[in-house]
Amino acid sequence: MRKVVDVRSAKRGTGHLIVGSVTLRFDERHRRRFRMKDDNGEDFLLDLPKPVLLADRDRLILEQGGAIEVKAAVEAVADLHTNGAAASARLAWHIGNRHTPVHVLPNGALRILDDHVLVDLAKRHGAWIRRHEAPFSPEPGAYVGGNGHSQGAAHTHDSGNEAPHRDVH
């Protein structure tokens, strides 16, 4: 069986020959060790030293040589549009306060996985919404190392009035 032993960011590029692709939803792209099938139905084993959040166009480097390209699957999303930077920043704060992954689009709109509660919140803050299907590639933020968080990490907030909002890890 083919074995993936490393990941190369699409931004860094790679000299490895692409020998296949794998199309994954956002919730399938945070992995360490997992048996998978590429888009042609051929098995491979993802076997990394630590969990990695895979991004669209990342390369999975095979132990035997070559690479499998990651493709972000088309998913039900909601694009949240606002009137200007201040409204967009305010909306991003409210969404981020709910620990929701956000994909910032080139035009400044915010893309989330379609969720009626968050769409209603966005509407209450003056956003107009475009629901459709598209790839979802959120900002890595707390989902990658360097800031003490990892996806699925224990995370709570104080509920009392004695202290401001505080993360407990």
Residue 124 sits in a domain whose CATH number is: 3.30.70.790
- Contact between 9 and 65 under an 8 Å Cβ cutoff? The reply is no
CA distance 101 to 117: 14
Q: Which amino acid is at 50?
A: K
Residue 68 lies in a domain: yes
Residue 19 belongs to what domain range? Answer: 2-72
Q: What is the pLDDT along the chain (169 residues), one digit of tens a residue?
A: 999 999 998 877 667 899 999 999 999 999 999 999 999 999 999 999 999 999 999 999 999 999 999 999 999 999 999 999 999 999 999 999 999 999 999 999 999 999 999 999 999 999 999 999 999 999 876 544 433 333 333 333 333 333 333 333 3
List the strands of the sheet with 59-62, edge to edge: 18-24, 67-72, 59-62, 2-8, 43-53, 30-37
Longest CA span, the chain: 58
Domain total in the chain: 2
Residue 161 lies in a domain: no
Q: Which amino acid is at 37?
A: K
| Two tokens, residue 82 | 């606002």
Residue 54 lies in a domain: yes
- Contact between 3 and 66 under an 8 Å Cβ cutoff? The reply is no
CA distance 7 to 61: 6
CA distance 20 to 26: 19
CATH number, domain containing residue 66: 2.60.260.20
Residue 155 lies in a domain: no
